[in-house]
Structure 1
Amino acid sequence: MNRQSDWQPLEITAESAGVPATPAGLMEFISDSSRIDEMLVREKALVFRGFGVDTDTLDPVMDGLLPNRLAYVHGNSPRTKVGSNVYTSTEYPSELTISMHNELSYAHAWPSRLLFFAAQEPTTGGATPVVDGVAWLEGLAPEVREAFAGGVRYVQNLHGGRGLGKSWQDTFETSDRGEVETFLKGTEAEWEWLRDGGLRVTQVRPSTVRHPVTGVEVWFNQSDQWHPAALGDDMAAELAQILPEEELPQSVRFADGSPIPDEYVVQVRDKGLEAAVDVDWHTGDLLLIDNVLVGHGRRPFTGPRRILVAMSD
């Protein structure tokens, strides 16, 4: 683990836990769910190392750490489902950085926990940076925090099977329009079916939230990841110049409909990465994070890196 701030995740080994260095030893340690709950709120992120967990022994560990494993419904990042509500981490070009974010912070509901598992460590790089949401918020200039105080408006254009970005079928894990509408009716979102078979979803969400247990206020939105100025991806930036904003796969403005200045989202992106602590991966490692208290991202890498992720409420 690379220390870049005063806070860092708590690393738990068989020795520190007082259990055998085996999957069964890890199961023994996490069987006290109240202790894990308290540790996670206090430490914000937990790294489990050296327990010899592999894909064959992963499921019971996930069941122990994620009380109610959730499907990645309404998720906007490209992933592959590989098991019972288990997914690959975001499938994004390996040479690019994925900036800091809280999973599904743009949605009406989000997971409270994320669990990452290193099925295959990368050859080089590929750390998962994690950032304390309080530090991220406090690192932003006062004028930026004030500008975002009213919230943000996200717009998704989901194609119907062919087009840019994700389809609505992949996003909602169904090809039934009725199921999609039933889901969206409970999210305070606005939506419309487009003539080309696509779906446009508009949502107004807060820029910060308070943790349900500690009450601390944290930065909690994905404005920089939805804004072309902060993408850091030449192809995406070029796309934003070619297509009108209302036709982009995703876009963002302030809640009142006014544009977010480029320099604001660049500051949000950069301050999150600057405050982050890198969790380096070794095959078999697990990382459990409180998805409200902690944002996460990904550093560039080489080699066959394979990180699996699951989430719970």
Structure 2
Amino acid sequence: MEFSCKDFKVGNVEGEKVLDGETIPLVLKPSEPNKSDLASLLLGLKNKKDWFEQMIIKNSAVLLRGFDVKNAEDFNEIIETCGWEDIRYVGPAPRTHVYKRVWTANEGPLSEFIYYHHEMVLFKDNPKKVILFCETPPPEGGETPFVPSFRVTEKMLKEFPEEVKLMEEKGLKYSFTALSNNNTGSMRGRGWQDAFGTSDPIEAEKRVNALGMEVEWLEDGGMKTIIGPRNLTRVFEGRKERRMWYNTIVGMHGKEFSSATMADGTEIPEHVVKRCGEIIEEESIQFKWEKGDVLFFDNCALLHGRRPSLPPRKVLVATCK
């Protein structure tokens, strides 16, 4: 790998993979032992802003490790230094605002697995970058596995060419039910009032419609959102014309609060969904969190999730355009 940067040196992490000559994640460490402080990191990011963004796109994930990043305030300074525009999270995951542009990651039970997804994939306006900061690493488990999305498309085309063609032609339709109130005991337990920032049903419906979704109100006060048609795959500029598996059919198909079908209502075969889930897991990459780690995802290129863990685990997040 070609690399020349006086502000960082390349490191390694157990679990990294080399794919088409790209190391995922690219690990960047202090260039010298005395350059691990936050000020040196911020200066390096400022000096190499364009280069750093190119590394995120080239390698799909960049891990900053070995720097003295202590808390949400430090993390926010890193985000601000990078200079990317903020995009507010919309979705079912229970989250709490921590500081300025920083939020908690999904606060659902640590005992549960959060399935692989591109952040806010269902919405037309979604983040290009997802940045995670590990304030408290879990004693066991709790990894954030991620998957090169184009590899899923390649394997699905090879194993299910006709099914992929049909889903691509018809498009996809999803439904999701948001509860009337928050349920912190569920990974998808964010009520519609919190999710859409209003307790007024009329205003909430306007906001949902503005995101390109239809609304169906339920007798228990919950809101069913209907989303579609949506693409099965997408190609993003600057990413080698790779065809990303930019959907959430495995995560939403046949679940308690959600569904995924083709846009005309045709069911997606169960065996196709099952095998897709297996492929995603086969292609996953993960590493053990360390305190102070800051991980940058190219949300166009990677699906990501969360392994079950023992407490405590505290990972914070920011999402950017």
Normalised by the length of structure 2, the TM-score is: 0.83
> For the Cα contact (< 8 Å) 1:5–1:276, is it kept in 2?
no
Q: Percent identity?
A: 28
Alignment of 1:280-291 (within 5 A): 280-291=288-299
Q: Measured at CA, do residues 270 and 4 of structure 1 come closer, stay the same or move farther in structure 2, by a change above 3 Å?
A: farther
Assess, with a 3 A threshold, how the Cα gap between structure 1 residues 178 and 40 changes in structure 2: closer, same or farther: same
Displacement, 1:65?
Answer: 3.2
Deviation, structure 1 residue 172: 1.2
Question: Is the CA contact 1:99–1:273 (under 8 Å) kept in the aligned structure 2?
Answer: no
Distance 1:4 1:25 in 2: 28
Shift of 1:299: 1.9
Give the distance between the partners of 2:145 and 2:182, measured in 1 at CA.
33
* Stretches of structure 2 lacking an aligned partner (at least 5 in a row): 1-13
Does residue 1:221 correspond to 2:247, yes or no?
A: yes
Contact 1:130-1:279 at 8 Å conserved across structures: no
- Is the 1:111–1:312 Cα contact (8 Å) retained in structure 2? yes
Contact 1:40–1:290 (8 Å) recurs in 2: yes
**Paired residue for 2:36?**
21
**Number of matched pairs:** 293
Partner of 1:145: 164
For structure 1, the residue ranges without an aligned partner over 5 or more in a row are 229-239, 241-247
Q: Structure 1 193/97 Cα, relative in aligned 2: closer, same or farther at 3 Å?
A: closer
229, 232, 236: which one aligns with 1:211? 236
1:310 to 312, 315, 318: 318
CA distance in 1, matches of 2:180, 2:211: 21
State the alpha-carbon separation in 1 of the partners of residues 26 and 304 from structure 2. Answer: 15
Match of 1:108 among 124, 127, 131: 124
Q: Take 2:278 and 2:114, find their aligned partners in 1: how far apart are those partners?
A: 11
CA-to-partner distance for each residue in 1:132-167, whole Å, 9 max, x for gaps? 111121122224422421321111222323788432
Given candidates 10, 15, 27, the residue that maps to 1:2 is 15
Q: CA RMSD in A?
A: 2.3
Question: Which residue of structure 2 lines up, in the alignment, with residue 67 of structure 1?
Answer: 84
- 1:200–1:85 distance in 2 versus 1, CA, 3 Å: farther
SS in 1 for 2:227: strand
Distance 1:22 1:122, change over 3 A: same
Report the counterpart of residue 260 of structure 1 in structure 2. Answer: 268
Which range moves more in the overlay, 257-266 or 82-91? 82-91
SS of residue in 2 equivalent to 1:122: coil
- Aligned partners of 2:27, 2:18: CA distance in 1, in Å? 16
Deviation at 1:4, TM superposition (A): 5.3
Give yes or no for contact 2:87–2:126 (8 Å, CA) kept in 1. no
Say whether residues 1:118 and 2:134 are aligned partners: yes
Counterpart secondary structure, 1:82: strand
Alignment correspondent of 1:231: none
- How is 1:1-313 mapped onto 2 (pairs within 5 angstroms)? 1-3=14-16, 6=19, 7-15=23-31, 20-31=35-46, 32-55=48-71, 56-65=73-82, 67-73=84-90, 75-140=91-156, 141=159, 142-149=161-168, 150-161=170-181, 165-204=189-228, 205-214=230-239, 215-228=241-254, 248-313=256-321
Segment of structure 1 superposing worse, 212-221 or 2-11:
2-11
Asked if 2 retains the 8 angstrom alpha-carbon contact of 1:133 and 1:220, the reply is yes
User: Shift of the alpha carbon at 1:116?
Assistant: 0.3
Q: Closer, same or farther in 2 for the Cα pair 1:291/1:162, shift >3 Å?
A: closer
Residue 24 of structure 2 contacts residue 62 of structure 2 at CA under 8 Å; is this kept in 1?
no
Per-residue CA deviations over 1:263-311 (Å, capped at 9, x if unaligned) read 2222222211210110321010000011011111122222311111110
Change (3 A) 1:50 1:95: same
Whether the 8 Å contact between 2:76 and 2:101 is mirrored in structure 1 is no
In 2, Cα distance between the equivalents of 1:37 and 1:155? 34
The residue matched to 2:31 in structure 1 has which SS? helix
